[in-house]
Chains A and B, each alone.
Chain A
Amino acid sequence: MADLSVRIGALTLRNPVMPASGCFAVEYAEALDLNRLGALVIKSVSPNARAGNPTPRVAETASGMLNSIGIPSKGLDAYRRDVLPAYTRFDTPVVVSVSADTAESFAEACETLSLPEVAAIEANISCPNLEADGMAFAMRPESTYKAVSAIRRRTSHPLWVKLTPNAGQIALIARAAEDAGADAIVMGNTVLGMAIDVHTRKPKLGNVMGGLSGPAIKPLALRLVHQCHRAVRIPIVGCGGIETAHDAAEFMLAGASAVQVGTASFRDPAVMGHIVDGLTAYCDTHGIDKISTLTGAVAIDAQLTDRWLRFAQQSG
């Protein structure tokens, strides 16, 4: 049987499959064995209490869904007291996801959550639902650098930085996160979208706009993972539309060291277990001893690419 273990910086995971923040809660213990996952990534917590966005908070789209949940939060003290203990009782590394409105409060929150029972901190500098039409720190290299370096100064915990597919120039943003001291990149988050009911003329989300997720965004997310992989030396956790073991393998070939599964769990609460099983089967089929060798192993024929470019130039 293949060795499914992977390394994300200093952290070793038993396999590369973990939930995406926002699409996971301890209730899934009723549908699958959480001790079989590579890590548990908890919903983002914000330092300030938030009620979340108005309903409807979800809408269906072609091969995906839109959400505008709005990160409901009761603040850090309640999180540490009431939320965290339910996750740390499993034999699986726990990753806390943090969201905040300013670099300073981001840094403060990450310092507060640098607890022994927390294996890594995921800084969600990418959430498109918060404010200003989806503007987030990860929209620009400068604001990414500012937020990540502010956090880095206040914690020595493994720091994962979650980027957004809504940004252009993703390589520059990923490099800014690396330069500021991130231990890993999580690529990516939902894509800002919108849907309208043509009969009532009302937006289908209470918050008008929201994040698109599911298979609809998979090719986009895969491309971003590959671009990040070419731009940085730190590991990348791929995320976006992963539903099957083949999807996960595709993200690893593009450059991911591990993957996060989000919306697929809403359609099958046991899906992450199936993906772990499927990765074992995939490795057996292809004679792969260590799954970590898949990372970045996409077979791109550089010569063929060059020849095609020359041909294209000649033909004008």
Chain B
Amino acid sequence: MSVVSLTSGNAPHPATPVRSPACRTPASRACAEAVCGTAAGPSVATHRCRVLSHYAVNARYRYLRLQADAPIALSTHPGQFYQLKCPVTASDAPFLLRPMSVYGAGPAPDTIEFLYNVTGVGTRALATLAEGASLDIVGPLGNTFTLDTAWKRVMFVARGVGLATMAPLVQRAAAAGLQLTVVMSARSEADLMHDEFLRSPQARALADVHCVFDSDGSSAVEVLAPRVQALLAATPHDAVYTCGSHRLLMLLQRALDAYPDIVGEVAMEQRMACGMGVCLSCVRLFDSDGDKQFLRVCREGPVFPIRNVVGEVDFG
């Protein structure tokens, strides 16, 4: 298959650390709203897009490339997502929009890419879109991963469609010359999207890749945990990122106990309606310095510190 090069293209690389999109840093929320909401006009908009490319990557995943009516690639950052207005078909009538993390933005300022798994009503309908068809998307939404380009080495632990969320961050890290430790988990070798995750020759050259599978038992937590710990012990890492598996997330949370200086971040998923922090449907429980609280995945996230995730949700 031909995969479009993801590098940020014309998009300016933000100053380090990356976590600085204008409206998204919780600490500057009040200020950001004043800037984005009133003075500078809307920062979240519905964009009419044209399907440039849409095909099956393998038996499970599909690739979608869109051309938007605005230069949205310039304002979209790794970890952020859009709400997709999936079409209504003869058999599926999705009512709500579908949150989907961005797989790539650029190289043209108006192109944006998604990589998704057909799992339900919305994605089934989405899969019927032909090239040249129109699709409305709302965004960009959510916060972004932290990345300091002065760092030396970062680790990615990806499973399933979670790799799509981290793929733009891989490109950012590779473009900055960071060494990459990549652990990829999949049901079988046929499901693994090694090239789709690393994408660029630069990332492939910088990556130390470890693939694990359900089919041979190498992805089991009790097998993978010592392997991840050995990787962390062998080389100093500045950050660890994950997405796509609760079990991997918990594995990393335990592994990071021994490394208080390593930044750990996860992109979370949750069923949501508005995607903008209004409806309060996508909350999850987090622990911040012993204070347990519900946070909105769409708004305070989707990227959260791995250490703050509460494994078992307790509504007592």
Interface residues of A (CB under 8 A from B): 22-35, 51-52, 54-58, 60-65, 67, 69, 72, 86, 90, 214, 265-270
Contacts and interface: CB of A to CB of B under 8 A. Distances in A.
Interface in B262-316: 270-284, 294, 299, 313, 315
Contacts of A64: 95
A51 B315 contact: yes
B86 to A, nearest CB: 11
Interface of B: 23, 30, 33, 36-38, 42-46, 85, 93-97, 121, 138, 270-284, 294, 299, 313, 315
Contacts of B44: 30-31, 269
A63 B276 contact: no
B271 A67 contact: no
Contacts of B280: 52, 57, 69, 72
> Counting chain A CB atoms within 10 Å of each CB, which of B30, B36, B38, B270 scores highest?
B38
A64 B273 CA distance: 11
A62 B294 contact: no
A72 B285 CA distance: 14
Majority-rule SS of B interface residues: loop
Contacts of A54: 313, 315
A67 B276 contact: no
Contacts of B96: 58, 60, 65, 266-267
Given A56-B281, A266-B97, A269-B276, 15 more contacts: A23-B278, A25-B277, A31-B44, A58-B271, A58-B281, A69-B279, A69-B281, A72-B294, A86-B33, A266-B273, A266-B274, A266-B275, A269-B44, A270-B45, A270-B46
Given A65-B273, A72-B294, A265 B281 contact: no
Contacts of A269: 44, 46, 138, 274, 276
Contacts, number: 116
A190 B94 CA distance: 20
Determine chain A's interface SS by DSSP, over half rule: loop
A265 B94 contact: no
B121 A60 contact: yes
B42 A270 contact: yes
B95 A31 contact: no
A61 B283 CA distance: 21
Contact of B43 (A30, A58, A267): A30
Given A51-B315, A54-B315, A269-B274, A30 B36 contact: yes
A-B pairs with the 10 shortest C-beta distances? Answer: A29-B37, A57-B281, A58-B281, A25-B278, A266-B274, A27-B277, A31-B44, A30-B44, A58-B273, A266-B273
B279 A67 contact: yes
Contact of A55 (B33, B37, B283): B283
User: Which among A58, A62, A266 has the greatest number of chain B C-beta atoms within 10 A?
Assistant: A266
Contacts of B33: 26-27, 29-30, 86
Given A65-B273, A266-B96, A269-B44, A27 B281 contact: no
24 contacts: A23-B278, A26-B37, A27-B277, A28-B278, A29-B33, A29-B38, A30-B37, A31-B44, A32-B42, A34-B38, A52-B283, A55-B270, A55-B282, A55-B313, A58-B273, A62-B93, A62-B95, A67-B273, A69-B281, A266-B275, A268-B46, A269-B46, A269-B138, A270-B46
